[in-house]
A and B are shown apart, each in its own frame.
Chain A
Amino acid sequence: MRSGVVAVALALLVLAPLLPRQASAQFSFDARRYGMGGVSLSRDGNARRFNPAYRALKTHGETTGTPKFSIPVPIGLIKFFKDHPINQLSHDPMFDPKSTSFNPFELTNLIFNPPIFYEVKKSPTPTNNVEITLGKNQLIVNLGGSRVLIPEQSFGLGSTSRLFDAGAGFGGFHIGVMGFLQYDVAFTLDSALRRALTDTVTGVRPGDTLSLLSDAIAQAGLAPTVGFAGRLMHGADPATDDGLYLGGAVHYYLGATFGRLTGPAQIRVGSPIFGTTPAVALADTLRTSNQHNGHGVGGDVGFVWVSGPFEVGVGVNDIGAELTWSDTKVQSISYITTTGKLVTRIDTNHVETKTKLPVTYIANAALRMGTGTTVGGDVVNSGRGTVIHVGVEQRTGPFAVRGGVSRDQRKKMQFGFGGGLRLGPIGLDVGFFTHSNSLSTQRAITMATAISIY
C-alpha cells in the first residue's frame, strides 16, 4: 500500500511539469524566461498558444534572440535524490504518513514545486503547534502561525488547456484538430467556518452552521478547427516582419465528457456544542454527461503588429464557446447521518445541459532595441486569474543579463533575475525567481538552469 502511495507521488513529481497548470507562464523549462520574471520574449509558447495571428510570424530567429529549444539542467533532481535515495523512498519520512517526521505541508509543497530546479530558498513549512480547547459549550481552535493560511476568499485550481493541436495549412489557412481540457475546482469557507478556524477567543459558537461551499467542473473533448493567419499590411520593406497580422480560428467542439459538482458540505453544531449530536449535511448536485455528445462552436481571434523593434499582440480564445450536452443526468448526493453513508439519487435523467469554456487571453508587447536590449511584458489569463509579467534582457557580446517582475494569480509580486553565456550555437542560462507556489506566506527562490540550442 505504501509503495503504491510512493509510486503515485513519484508519478506526480515526474508528470507535474507536464501537466496543464493554472498559468502555463508559471512553469517552463526556459531559464531565460525565469530570469525575466516569467515573461516570454519569444513568439512561441504562450504567444502562439493564445494568439492565432502568431501563426503567420516566424517563431524564432536572430532578431528575437530566441533559442530553437532549451534543455533544462535538473540540478534540483540531483539534490532531491541525494536527500531522498530512490531505493529508500518507501521508507522515506516525506512519503510515509506513519513517520513522526511526516509533514503533509512538505509533501504538498513538493507537488506544487517539482524539484526540477534547485531551490535556493525554500518557503518555510509551517510546523507550529495547534491548540484546541474543548468544553461542553466551547470549541476553540488555535492554529497558531498556520492561521494565516486559512483563505479569506474562494480558493482552488483550474485551467483551460489545449492538450494537442495538430493540423496542416496552406496559404495562411490551417485545418486541424485540437484536444481541449477545462477544469475548475473552487472552494469557499463561509464566515462561520472561517471564524471557527481563525478566532482564538470565541471559536465555534453553539448552533453555528459551518459550511464549505464547492463548485467543481471538468470537461474535455476534441475540436476540429479551421483557422487563418496572415499579414494584412506590411511595412516599407516587405522582407521584414513589419506589418499587421491577423489570425482567427473557428472550433467545433465535440465534448467527450463533462461533470459538475456543486453544493455545500455542512456541519450544524449543536447547542450546547458537545451536549448534542451535530448534524452533518451534504446536499450536492452532480451533473454528468450520459453520452459523448457535447457540441458547440467557438472561436479565437488575435492580431500582432510589428513595427521595427516594436511588437504588440492580443489574442483571445474560446469566444462564445458554449457546449450543449443533449443527454445528461442530474443527481443529488446527500449524507445520511444515521448510516454514515453517502447516498446518490437521480433527480432527472436524459436532460439537456449547457456548459461554457472560459474566455482566455493574452496581451503581449516587446521592444527590441538595437543596443541588445529587449523589453517585454504580457498579461495572461488562462482561465483562473490574470498573471502579469514584465521583463528585460540586455545582451552584450556572448553575455546576457536579465531581470523582471510579475504579479501571480494570488496577486503577489514576484521577482526574477539571471544571466546567460552564449558560445556559438550553444548557450548556458541561469535564472533566479521568487514564487509563492507553496502553502506558506513567504516566497521561495528557485534557480533554473538550462542549455539553449540556437
Chain B
Amino acid sequence: MKALAAALLVFVAACGQGKAIFNVDVYSFIAGTGKDTVPYIIPPSSSATGSTVQKINLPPGFGSSIVDSVRITNGSANLLTTSGSGRIGFQLYVAADSAGTYNAGALALNLPDTAVSAGPPISVSISGDLSAAVHTVFSQPTVWVRFVANGSNPNALPVTGLQGKMILTALTIRVVVEDKIF
C-alpha cells in the first residue's frame, strides 16, 4: 500500500503550503481481528490493567514534518462486565515500536474511569487530544498503539473479582501535519 500512498502524496505535495490531514479509521483495521477487545480481570480489592497492541501504517515521507496535532475525533467502546463491579478507565499509549508502548512516557490519552457492574454493556465515548509528547511518532510510517483498560475493584466480593471486556466500536485518529514531504 506504500506505493499507492506515496503516489497520492505527490498530489499532497503539489498543494503548496497547506497542511496534510489524515483521518485514520483505526477501528476498521482491527474490527473482527480480536484486537478490538481488551479483557479485564481485576481481583477483589485491587487494581489491574488489560491491554492489546496494534500497529498502524501511515503514508511514508513525513519524517521531517512537523505534527501539529493528533486527536481522536470519533471513538467509543462498550464495557461489558460479566461479574463484579468497580471502575474501568481507558488509556492509549503510542510509540514507534511495540515494546515502547509499555513505557510510561508513551501515554497519549488517559480518560476518566467509568463505574461498571455486571449487566448490559455500558457505552463510553473516547475522544480528546493526544499528548504532544507522542506527536513526533506520527511523522513516521509505522505507529504502534496500545489500548488499555485500566480498572479498579474496591469490593471483596465476588471472589472472581471484576471481570469483563472493553470492546472498541469506533476509533478514528486525526493527524494534522505541516506537509514537509520527502
Contacts and interface: CB of A to CB of B under 8 A. Distances in A.
Whether chain B is bound by chain A comes out as yes
A132 B23 contact: yes
B18 A128 contact: yes
Contacts of B15: 105, 126-130, 143-144, 146
B3 A267 contact: yes
Interface string B50-66: 00000001110000101
A144 B15 CA distance: 9
A136 B3 contact: no
Most-contacted residue by chain A among B15, B23, B31 (CB, 10 A):
B15
Contact of A129 (B1, B7, B18, B24): B18
Interface string A21-53: 000000000000000000000000000000000
A134 B16 contact: no
B8 interface: yes
A267 B18 contact: no
Given A106-B16, A278-B1, A131 B23 contact: yes
Most-contacted residue by chain B among A126, A129, A133 (CB, 10 A):
A129
Interface in A69-127: 97-98, 100-106, 125-127
A129 B20 contact: yes
A135 interface: yes
B24 A100 contact: no
A269 interface: yes
A277 B78 CA distance: 32
Contact of A135 (B17, B25, B179): B25
A136 B25 CA distance: 8
Contacts of B23: 131-134
Contacts of B22: 131-134
B172 to A, nearest CB: 8
Given A98-B180, A129-B21, A141 B11 contact: yes
Contact of B21 (A102, A130, A204): A130
B27 to A, nearest CB: 8
A138 interface: yes
A126 B16 contact: yes
B129 to A, nearest CB: 18
Contact of B1 (A126, A141, A210, A274): A274
B12 A103 contact: no
A339 to B, nearest CB: 13
A105 B3 contact: no
Given A130-B15, A197-B11, A274-B29, A139 B20 contact: no
Interface in B1-59: 1, 3-4, 7-8, 11-25, 28-29, 31, 57-59
Nearest to B14: A104
B12 A130 contact: yes
Interface in B168-182: 178-180, 182
Most-contacted residue by chain B among A105, A136, A141, A144 (CB, 10 A):
A136
A126 B12 CA distance: 11
B16 A127 contact: yes
B29 A267 contact: no
Contact of A128 (B4, B16, B25, B182): B16
Contacts of B180: 98, 100, 102
Nearest to B181: A97
Interface of A: 97-98, 100-106, 125-139, 141, 143-144, 146, 149, 196-197, 204, 210, 267, 269-270, 273-274, 277-278, 280, 439
7 contacts: A98-B64, A128-B18, A130-B20, A130-B179, A131-B23, A135-B25, A274-B1
The 9 closest A-B CB pairs, nearest first, are A135-B25, A135-B28, A136-B28, A127-B16, A131-B21, A129-B18, A133-B23, A127-B17, A146-B15
